[in-house]
């Protein structure tokens, strides 16, 4: 039986290596679940963090279910071994829905714990986790007609976690916006969006109300130039394919301009990347760096305007 586990980190599919690389101390890796003897650490590559894992000895399947129910109602299984036994335990627990959610939706109201079987007679269970979604998986009811790419799911993911999104009449800059998944998502909120890219938007997005497009190199756009037309950028959105270091330097200028309220920027990494730049983004005051469920070999830097919830901003 393993003891001395203080936190557990569930890596996104295919990203155990960067998660293990960023964790301090000796860890035990069970498929995508990484167990640590240390208190919670800053991580970028965790899909869900088990914040209070308890090791619990169990006599039987019923005893396991009894122990979990004594802690709280809602549990989700992450199974790396003994799948059948684990499933029999989960089946004795109250039903938890994992149905895809609509956008927009509030965060789940009830806490969701995570558990696994370390061996046939030992549970690892954490009533408190970083994500309210099953194994950190935020699945949406998708729109397969409107958007020209599935990239819009990243924005929906970020906006849902933040519980903030553009409001009707807001102005959004969409850097690297082609073919237009993000512009489509902004247009659906009723906000205005200026999309810039070297490649055009898909015609069905370019013709949506509130969408405008300019072709060119986004890194040539400076805050003082845009400010002549749009003095406030309510949402600065970037999904540009570029080195994160280049994005950092560019974004600093926009931060310093004071004209941007909220930022959501994808940091795109290549194979064998050095992830140190993620710390530079995370160290910018008021920032978070996340691996969204809909991110691939990417992280998302988010910085919201300080103050009351942006969804309730008075007009
Ligand atoms: C991942 S795609 C964006 C997808 C888009 N967010 C969507 O929802 O459909 C990245 C885009 O960055 C654009 N891009 C890369 N470098 C650029 C640059 N220097 N200036 C403008 N666009 C650039 C590419 O042309 C590409 O369309």
pTM here is 0.95
Is the C-beta atom of 178 inside 6 A of ligand 1? yes
How far does the centroid of ligand 1 lie from the alpha carbon of residue 313, in Å?
Answer: 30
pLDDT tens figures, 15-48: 999 999 999 999 999 999 999 999 999 999 999 9
What confidence score (pLDDT) does residue 307 get?
Answer: 65
Structure tokens at 64: 């396991």
293 C-beta neighbours (distance < 10 Å), count: 21
Is the C-beta atom of 134 inside 6 A of ligand 1? no
pLDDT at 314 over 50: no
Radius of gyration of the chain (CA): 21
Residue labelled with tokens 């619990």: 56
How far does the centroid of ligand 1 lie from the alpha carbon of residue 140, in Å?
Answer: 23
Task: Name every residue whose Cβ is closer than 8 Å to that of residue 74 and which is 6 or more positions away in sequence.
Answer: 94, 96, 110, 111, 112, 113
> Best mutation site among 182, 187, 197 for ligand 1, i.e. most ligand atoms within 8 A of its Cβ?
197
How far does the centroid of ligand 1 lie from the alpha carbon of residue 196, in Å?
Answer: 8
* Element spanning 187, H or E: helix 181-189
pLDDT at 298 over 50: yes
- Sign of the C-alpha dihedral, residues 305, 306, 307, 309? positive
Average pLDDT over residues 170-177: 98
How far does the centroid of ligand 1 lie from the alpha carbon of residue 54, in Å?
Answer: 45
Structure tokens at 46: 């965790």
In which band, very low, low, confident or very high, does the pLDDT at 315 lie, cut at 50, 70 and 90?
A: very low
pLDDT at 236 over 80: yes
pLDDT tens figures, 126-155: 999 999 999 999 999 999 999 999 999 999
pLDDT at 312 over 80: no
Is the C-beta atom of 264 inside 6 A of ligand 1? no
Round to whole Å and give the CA distance between 302 and 221.
20
> Is it true that the peptide bond before 44 is cis, omega within 30 degrees of 0?
no
CA distances, 38 to each of 9, 42, 46 (Å): 11, 12, 15
Is the C-beta atom of 70 inside 6 A of ligand 1? no
Structure tokens at 197: 């890219």
Is the C-beta atom of 238 inside 6 A of ligand 1? no
Residues, the chain: 315
């Amino acid at each position: 039986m393993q003891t001395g586990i203080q936190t557990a980190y569930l890596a996104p599919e295919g990203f155990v290596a960067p998660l293990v690389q960023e964790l301090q101390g000796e860890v035990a890796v069970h498929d995508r679940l990484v167990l640590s003897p240390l208190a919670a650490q800053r991580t970028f590559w965790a899909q869900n963090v088990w914040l209070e894992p308890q090791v619990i000895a169990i006599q039987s399947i019923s005893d396991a279910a009894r122990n979990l129910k004594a802690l709280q109602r809602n549990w989700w299984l992450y199974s790396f071994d003994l799948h059948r036994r684990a499933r029999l335990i989960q089946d004795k627990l109250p039903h938890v829905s994992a149905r895809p959610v609509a956008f927009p939706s509030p965060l789940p109201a009830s806490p969701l714990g995570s558990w696994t079987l370390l061996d046939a007679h030992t549970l690892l269970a954490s009533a408190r986790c970083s994500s309210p979604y099953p194994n950190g998986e935020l699945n949406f009811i998708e729109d397969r007609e409107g958007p020209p790419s599935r990239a819009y799911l990243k924005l929906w993911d970020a906006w849902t976690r933040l519980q903030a999104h553009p409001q009707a009449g807001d102005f959004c800059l969409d850097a690297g916006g082609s073919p237009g998944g993000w512009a489509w998502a902004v247009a659906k909120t009723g906000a205005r969006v200026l999309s810039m890219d070297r490649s055009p938007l898909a015609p069905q997005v370019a013709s949506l109300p509130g969408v405008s497009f300019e072709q060119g190199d986004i890194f040539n756009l400076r805050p003082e130039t845009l400010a002549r037309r749009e003095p406030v950028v309510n949402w600065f959105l970037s999904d540009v394919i570029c080195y994160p270091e280049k994005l950092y330097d560019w974004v600093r200028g926009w931060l310093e301009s004071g004209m941007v309220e909220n930022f959501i920027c994808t940091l795109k990494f290549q194979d064998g990347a050095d992830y140190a730049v993620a710390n530079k983004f995370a160290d910018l005051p008021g920032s978070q760096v996340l691996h969204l469920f809909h991110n691939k070999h990417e992280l998302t830097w988010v910085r919201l305007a300080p103050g009351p919830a942006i969804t309730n901003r008075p007009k």
